[in-house]
Amino acid sequence: MEMQSLKQRRFEARTAIVTGAARGIGRGIAQRLAEEGCRIACWDNDVSSLESGDGSFAALVQDVDLADARAVEAAFAATLESFGHVDIVVNNAGINGPVVPIEDYPVDAWNRVLAVDLNSVFHTCRLAVPHMRARGAGRIVNVASIVGKEGHPNICAYSAAKAGVIGLTKSIARELAGTGVTVNGIAPAITETDLFREMTEEHIEASKARIPMGRFLTVPEIAAMVAWIASDECSFTTGFTFDLSGGRATY
């Protein structure tokens, strides 16, 4: 079935913050929401592609380091000033960090991965939650990873941060149950992005072999799931992290 034909206009008059929207998965999510009528604030610490390339889907571009709580406060204030309100927050920005055994893992790298992948979600949620609660509506979608559920060797900080995102999602969801605000996550498996250019053919084939569907996840598939979770249609699920694993996660 052609995915294009399933697109709707679910986000007319809605606004969303998408973090890490300058490229990759975040860009795909931002474009999908915009195609369905949403006004998008793209938050990223490398906004050059949005300003120079095709950033037409971005109603607002914020150059912000999400690891910096004060910078996030300033970006949230600027977004509110521009949009008036925020309906949706997609916490997508993330970094991988080094690929080394734990005994070789640099402390600075550990702190940076936790700051960008986990603390950033706290920084945005602590601002978005009171705003959404007061409005009696809102959708928060946190991008975790299948690695946060299963663990993965040699990327201990990334695995821990993504497991932390899943726990944070559950906790905030419980705080907000019954308010009209839902908080959910997604746990994608390895996805066909620019990341592949950095990988060896062996690594790509080994990764594919672990996916029962025998192919990789694509950015439009992630964007479609996020759009549904962020829509009014996803109304009775909160605190859950949805897998996108091609049949790998069956627990």
Question: How many angstroms separate the Cα of 202 from the Cα of each of 84, 155, 193, 205?
Answer: 49, 19, 17, 5
Nearest to residue 152, comparing CAs of 116, 115, 184, 189? Answer: 189
Q: Rule CB under 6 A: which of 90-109 touch ligand NAD?
A: 92-95
Cα 212 from Cα 174, distance rounded (Å): 33
Closer Cβ to ligand NAD, 37 or 151, answer by number? 151
Decide if residue 193 touches ligand NAD (CB under 6 A): yes
Do 69 and 50 contact (CB within 8 A), yes or no? no
The window from 7-15, 31-39, 52-60, 183-191 that contacts ligand NAD (CB under 6 A) reads 183-191
- CA 221 to centroid of chain Cα atoms: 13
Q: Which of 42, 125, 143, 176 binds ligand NAD (CB under 6 A)?
A: 143
Closer Cβ to ligand NAD, 188 or 246, answer by number? 188
CB of 105 to ligand NAD, least distance (A): 17
Concerning whether 158 is annotated as a catalytic residue, the answer is yes
Q: Residue 248's CB: how many other CB atoms inside 10 A? A: 15
Which position has the token pair 């759009």? 227
> Which residues form the interface with ligand NAD (CB under 6 A)?
20, 22-26, 44-46, 64-67, 92-95, 116, 143, 145, 188, 190-191, 193-195
By annotation, the residues acting in catalysis are 158
